[in-house]
Amino acid sequence: MKPLYNPIEKSSGITEEQLSKVTELNPKLLTIYGLASDFRALVATKNVDEFEPWMITAQAIESPDIKSYVSGLTRDIVAVKNAIMFNYNNGSAEGNINKIKRIKHTMYGRASFSILRTKVLMFEMWKIIN
């Protein structure tokens, strides 16, 4: 549901009236919506001190999906806290790794490292030229 990720004002898929009807039928959804809004605010303000109380609140909700999400956050809590505090990410490295994997996949069965290296370098040159 789009409002879980975006504030209702920015969501074009549902109106406030529609959201109130849905939450009338399922009151737990309003709690989950508030939890998602709190998490979004926590990340936006980079307030790491509020992260663990947020996780305790989330665990209290009787939802297997939310509990699974919080469990995943708990497994790598240091990385999650660093992601909240800092603006750094490894998106560029992941993009390059994905690109190399795609090139490698297209060459499956007929490539040595030197051919793969040449193809990656040629691909980069082609991006610069075009």
Mean pLDDT of residues grouped by 10 in the chain (130 residues)? 58 74 82 86 90 92 88 91 87 88 82 83 84
pTM: 0.61
Residue 47's identity, in one-letter code, is N
At 103 the pLDDT is 85
Neighbours of 46 (CB within 10 A): 11
Degrees (nearest 5) of the Cα angle 87, 93, 94?
95
At 9 the pLDDT is 63
At 107 the pLDDT is 82
What is the C-alpha to C-alpha distance for residues 97 and 66, in angstroms, rounded to an integer? 31
Give the HSE-up count for residue 5: Cα atoms under 13 Å, Cβ half-sphere. 4
